């Protein structure tokens, strides 16, 4: 039974990744100015798990199986935002990374100025795609709601704010009376990584016409999955290898980051992951959707926690 579900999940992710990547290629097919678009394509069309886009599509399909097309522009917009955040995060002024998805980082290939501008252009393109293509597929009120939540997820309330907290907490973990608590770490993680993942689950469900109580459950499910995803990321930075990760492991310790695992230790972090997985499963049950509609979301949750990269 488990093997059968795994097999289906493999097929599901591979077919949906193909769909997402084909659409992203189309959205990125312009060439003026050539170096800008090349730099944008370099970071977007370079593999990656596509977890956020998959989550958006799977949430939409859980609510309404034929909603894949309706959610696709939003799923792609999310991947564009994710790619821009990686480009900027890798810059010397932030994490200063040379390797991403097994290839030199964007600024190593195109230079820092072009990497900054490619990120800016991807961010603008994400909204353009959501609004242009979403308009043909969803009601204006729904689309407005989705655009608003997307902006909240990525700005000072969400990803950018979380990144700034991450920087502010760097180097503090060893200091006595540093004031770092579980809720400080949770806030940082839930904004830096969790907000876009939460938006991915919520937006898919919103575009597919979920009820208010289902939307609440999808939103909370996404938030918990997002936190679990980042805790796993912190663990992989310690236990993973460059070949699997496609990026340099050990960077958190080298840059004295205040990570979840540094604060709680490996064993407790793994116990917390088990607990978060249980909470997320019970939130899915709260959607009152049939079990077979929720299988992919269960598998994505499991994948987010047990992945090797
Ligand atoms: C959004 C306006 C705006 C600015 C970005 C740089 C920055 C501000 C935020 C950093 C956010 C960041 C990079 C968080 C880390 C999230 C994370 C764990 C990324 C890795 O995601 P995966 O593993 O990557 O899904 P793949 O390669 O599989 O897509």
Q: What is the tens place of the pLDDT at every residue in 258-288?
A: 899 998 999 999 999 999 999 999 999 999 9
Ligand 1 center to 26 CA (angstroms): 23
Cα–Cα distance for residue pair 120/45, rounded to 1 Å: 17
Q: Which residues contact 141 (CB under 8 A, 6 or more apart)?
A: none
Query: Does the Cβ of 193 fall within 6 Å of ligand 1?
Result: yes
pLDDT tens per residue across span 51-73? 999 999 999 999 999 999 999 99
Q: If pLDDT is split at 50, 70 and 90, which confidence band does 2 have?
A: very low
50 CA to centre of own chain: 8
Measured in Å, residue 176 CA sits from the centre of ligand 1 at 30
Distance from residue 2's CA to the centre of ligand 1 (Å): 31
Alpha-carbon distances, residue 133 vs 27, 119, 253 (angstroms): 10, 21, 43
Give per-residue pLDDT as tens, 223-257.
999 999 999 999 999 988 888 888 888 888 888 88
**Contact 94 CB / ligand 1 (< 6 Å):** yes
Task: Give Cβ neighbours of residue 307 (< 8 Å, ≥ 6 apart).
Answer: 49, 232, 236
Best mutation site among 90, 168, 193 for ligand 1 pocket (most ligand atoms within 8 Å of CB): 193
Query: What are the strands, taking DSSP E only, across the chain?
Result: 99-100, 103-104
Structure tokens belonging to residue 75 = 């799923």
262 lines ligand 1 (CB under 6 A): no
Report the separation in Å between the CA atom of 15 and the middle of ligand 1, taken as the mean of its atom positions: 24
């Amino acid at each position: 039974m488990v093997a059968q579900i795994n097999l289906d999940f493999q097929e599901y992710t591979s077919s949906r990744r193909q769909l997402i990547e084909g659409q992203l290629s189309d959205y990125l097919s312009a060439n003026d100015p050539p170096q800008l678009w090349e730099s944008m394509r370099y970071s977007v069309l370079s593999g990656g798990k596509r977890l956020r886009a998959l989550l958006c599509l799977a949430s939409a399909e859980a609510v309404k199986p034929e909603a894949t097309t309706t959610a696709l522009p939003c799923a792609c917009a999310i991947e564009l935002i994710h790619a821009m955040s990686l480009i900027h995060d890798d810059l010397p002024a932030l994490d200063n990374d040379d390797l991403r998805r097994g290839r030199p980082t964007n600024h190593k290939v195109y230079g820092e100025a072009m990497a900054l501008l490619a990120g800016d252009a991807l961010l603008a393109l994400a909204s353009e795609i959501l609004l242009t293509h979403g308009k043909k597929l969803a009601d204006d009120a729904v689309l407005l709601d989705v655009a608003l939540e997307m902006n909240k997820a990525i700005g000072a309330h969400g990803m950018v704010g979380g990144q700034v907290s991450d920087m502010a907490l760097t180097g503090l973990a060893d200091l006595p009376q540093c004031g770092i608590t579980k809720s400080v770490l949770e806030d940082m993680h839930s904004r830096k990584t969790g907000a876009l993942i939460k938006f991915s689950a919520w937006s898919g469900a919103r575009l597919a016409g979920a009820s208010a109580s289902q939307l609440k459950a999808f939103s909370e499910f996404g938030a918990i999955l997002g936190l679990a995803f980042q805790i796993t990321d912190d663990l992989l930075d310690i236990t993973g290898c460059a070949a699997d990760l496609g990026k340099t492991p050990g960077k958190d310790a080298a840059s004295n980051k205040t990570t979840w695992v540094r604060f709680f230790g490996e064993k407790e972090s793994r116990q917390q992951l088990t607990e978060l997985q249980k909470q997320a499963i019970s939130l899915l049950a709260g959607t009152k959707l049939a079990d077979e509609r929720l299988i992919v979301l269960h598998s994505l949750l499991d994948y987010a926690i047990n992945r090797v990269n």
